[in-house]
Structure 1
Amino acid sequence: MRKLIYGINISLDGCCDHTKFSGGDDIHDYFLALMKNTDTVIYGRKTYELMVPFWPEVARTQSMDSATNAFATVFASLKRVVVSRTLTDTDDPQETIIRDNLKEGILRLKQQPGKDISTGGVELPAELIKLGLVDEFHIVVHPVIVGEGRRLFTEMFLPENVGLKLTSSETLSSGCIALRYSSGNMNDDI
């Protein structure tokens, strides 16, 4: 079974609003390495509309620095799944929409052959965590306190704690700390 991996950038005080802090080449390199091991991304409508068409356009034009262009190229090659009740059908053969039965739809994706699956954002991942579907968490903590902005999972309610196991940590050249946790949902030998 494929792993569902959640990746996000946050500030030291838990802000996940990407406009409140900046990333560098090391951040793009970190997420590029993660994306190279995936072949599908899953987003809610809001995150989807932030990521697409931005990254496919950067991939097409190669208009940014080399690290960002490399990330964009890999991102543009991925299959994209959008969880939304409001989006109309897509004409892009790389994209599909899940409108209902979220748990069943994600379990079907996880059972298909292929590489890992990635997700990002806040609302959809919170729902996926509540459903017990996220297998790994990749959280990059930026060395900045922003004092304001959207915080990670402030609206999420869980009936019980979700225990995680730290599987690796890395200090990036920018001073960011990349933390990798396993949820214990999957047997690593599968």
Structure 2
Amino acid sequence: MRKLIAAINMTLDGICDHTAGIPDAALHQHYTELIANAGAILYGRITYQLMQYWQTLLLNPSGEKAMNDFAIAIDKIPKIVFSNELKETNWITATLSELTLDEKVLELKQQAGKDILVGSRSLIIQLLNDNLIDEFQICIHPVLEGKGLPLFDQINHRKNFKLSKTKTFSSGAIVLYYEPVK
């Protein structure tokens, strides 16, 4: 059975904002490896549209190897998008899901293959409330944002987790790996 891994960035004050972190070469390399070892990634519309930025680096490389490598990895991985607004993805490796989030996740978990990633705050909250997340990889950046969307709001009941490992970056960012306590 495939695992569903929620991988996301947040600030010290708990804000989930993809632009608030410290995206250095080591962090890009970390996420490149994570994506290269996954079978699919799930996005909501807003995060998906933010991620489309990486398509521009395929056409016009940045000159930074880690960023270019990430662009290649994100381009290759199958992306499943959950949106009521989008009619098409405009990305050959992205599809709109015809199933609900829970239905699609349960279907994917039953298939053979590599683990599934989810990288959108709204999807993580829904999947957390439905007890479908098998692992969290939360990258905490040493930044106080002071405004924005908290990563963990609208949680409908208490959740307990066990820390399984950590990874620290020279920028001061740290990835905490958690598994739910069943």
Deviations 1:119-153, CA, capped at 9 Å, x for gaps: 11211111111111111111111112222222212
Cα distance change on mapping 1:16 and 1:73 into 2, 3 Å = same
The answer on 1:49 being equivalent to 2:49 is yes
Does the aligned pair in 2 maintain the 1:58–1:64 contact within 8 Å? Answer: no
Paired residue type of 1:43: Y
Unaligned runs of 5+ residues in structure 1 are 186-190
Q: Helix, strand or coil for the counterpart of 1:124? A: helix
The answer on 1:149 being equivalent to 2:148 is yes
Aligned residue number for residue 32 of structure 1: 32
Deviations 1:145-166, CA, capped at 9 Å, x for gaps: 2222222122x131x2111111
Indicate which of 162, 166, 170 corresponds to 1:165.
162
Moved over 6 A (4+): none
Output the CA distance in 2 between the equivalents of 1:119 and 1:183: 16
Identity of aligned residues (%): 38
Does the aligned pair in 2 maintain the 1:40–1:118 contact within 8 Å? Answer: yes
TM-score normalized by structure 2? 0.91
Does the aligned pair in 2 maintain the 1:15–1:152 contact within 8 Å? Answer: yes
Paired residue type of 1:13: D
Does the aligned pair in 2 maintain the 1:126–1:153 contact within 8 Å? Answer: yes
Aligned residue number for residue 107 of structure 1: 106
Q: CA deviation at 1:64?
A: 4.2
Paired residue type of 2:73: V
Output the CA distance in 2 between the equivalents of 1:21 and 1:38: 23
Deviations 1:67-113, CA, capped at 9 Å, x for gaps: 11111111110001001122214465522222443211111112222
Q: Helix, strand or coil for the counterpart of 1:46? A: helix
Aligned residue number for residue 188 of structure 1: none
Paired residue type of 2:148: G
Q: Helix, strand or coil for the counterpart of 1:20? A: coil
Does the aligned pair in 2 maintain the 1:84–1:99 contact within 8 Å? Answer: no
Output the CA distance in 2 between the equivalents of 1:38 and 1:66: 21
Q: CA deviation at 1:182?
A: 1.2
TM-score normalized by structure 1? 0.87
Unaligned runs of 5+ residues in structure 2 are none
Q: CA deviation at 1:65?
A: 0.8
Aligned residues: 182
Output the CA distance in 1 between the equivalents of 2:161 and 2:174: 17
Deviations 1:30-55, CA, capped at 9 Å, x for gaps: 21221121021100111111112x12
Deviates more, 1:92-101 or 1:70-79: 92-101
Aligned residue number for residue 72 of structure 2: 73
Q: Helix, strand or coil for the counterpart of 1:38? A: coil
* RMSD of equivalent CA atoms: 1.8
